[in-house]
Structure 1
Amino acid sequence: MTTVCLLCMKPIGTVLSWQTLLNLEKKKTLCDGCSNRFVRADIIEEGTVLDRVHSLYAYDEPMRDWLHQYKFLQDVALADIFAEDLNKALSGEDIIVPIPMHPERAVERTFAHVDTLLDRSKRPFRQLLEKRTLAVMGEKNRRERLAMEPLFRLKPGAVIEPVTYRLVDDIYTTGTTLRQAAQLLKDAGAVRVEAVTLIRSVQK
């Protein structure tokens, strides 16, 4: 029984067993060579507005290649690679909220990349935020970020409960995006806001 690596497209040999026949064994999405290219970071930071953020992987060359192929070349199947990692990182009873795309960007990209990561991780989530601007935080300096209008607003009819919310985004760069979303949720009644990001980009 053979599957194909989602990155290099080389065959992945799978040993036939009762677990595989009954779909109890985790299906491999990468060959060992491609899998070993990604560097697990597990960076955890705590703050005030954003109470806690957990970033799973380092932003290195293999991850840049993956992100480009996934987001900009619309290779949606690549979301499966990190599905299990996100599933584990998002365990618990917190309300999961994806960082949304601007509607125009969603049309341009043809799919919502954060929503797709969550769908593949089999974690339920709520759409509570709307993106107000097409701006990309990682492309702006500190002064430009501070001068910008708020990035998000609550979706019409969104109800924020006095509980913990967990924001999810693909990459953490400056933290501005997540902090703005966290502040909006707290102002609306959330008692705590945490975040999980697949990637952490350390600015030099």
Structure 2
Amino acid sequence: MKRNEVSNCLLCNSTLNQQITWKALLTNAFPKTFCIDCEQKFEPYENTSDQILSLYQYNDAMKDFLHRYKFMHDIILAKVFREQIHKHLSKTRATIVPIPLHPAKLKERTFAQVDELLKAAHIPYEHFLEKTTTETQVGKTRQERLATSQFFKLVKECKNKEILLIDDIYTTGATIQHAKSLLLESGAKSVKAFTLIRG
């Protein structure tokens, strides 16, 4: 990995004054991709359950990040939280399973945002699920979302596997719940979840 990979903050474009330490070189730590000022705008999420872990709260800074990353197709922003994601996922024994986009949505967006976050963090993953509907959950209440019929299908055997579902944002929990129930019904040993953001 190149140590001078990013010379300016990916969020505000200010110059990054990185001091390359021996520790960083020896541990192959990720080079910084955003400045301290930007870093301080993100609020860590206080987790109360080990079933679903989230890194950050959904605040204005995160709203801006998500908009640029997902909807403005600024794919390089996948590198912003790679160190934090790597730290939390690199030692898990569970099989990492990203929440997928519907194929039509993937074609429209041109990249799968969860896959790219994992790639940037050097986290291996497997696809066990395929999304079967393009129906949006935006504007629905939690009850309405949970009452929606199953919108995933299994594409790979998951029997007796410990699975960690990965998504970019957790809002009502309907997406995670649908995926979790399908995997457990299909024989998964356990299913937990990890998200970058908690809405």
Q: Give TM-score scaled by structure 2 length.
A: 0.89
| Larger strand proportion of the pair | 1
- The CA distance in 2 between the partners of 1:142 and 1:23, in whole Å, is 43
- The CA distance in 2 between the partners of 1:58 and 1:142, in whole Å, is 18
**Gap change, CA 1:100 and 1:9, over 3 Å in 2:** same
Q: Shift of residue 183 of structure 1?
A: 0.5
State the partner residue of 1:69. Answer: 68
- The CA distance in 2 between the partners of 1:153 and 1:21, in whole Å, is 43
Q: Shift of residue 19 of structure 1?
A: 5.7
Give the secondary structure class of the aligned counterpart of 1:12: coil
1:200 paired to 2:198: yes
State the partner residue of 2:178. Answer: 180
Q: CA RMSD in A?
A: 2.0
- The CA distance in 2 between the partners of 1:83 and 1:18, in whole Å, is 20
Gaps of 5+ in 1: 47-51
- The CA distance in 2 between the partners of 1:133 and 1:126, in whole Å, is 21
**Gap change, CA 1:145 and 1:168, over 3 Å in 2:** same
- The CA distance in 2 between the partners of 1:138 and 1:88, in whole Å, is 31
Q: Deviations over 1:38-88 (max 9, x none)?
A: 111142436xxxxx1001100000000000000001111111111111112
Using the aligned pairs only, state the percent identity: 41
State the partner residue of 2:169. Answer: 171
Gaps of 5+ in 2: none
For 1:148, give the aligned amino acid.
T
Give the secondary structure class of the aligned counterpart of 2:33: coil
Q: Give TM-score scaled by structure 1 length.
A: 0.87
- Which range moves more in the overlay, 130-139 or 98-107? 130-139
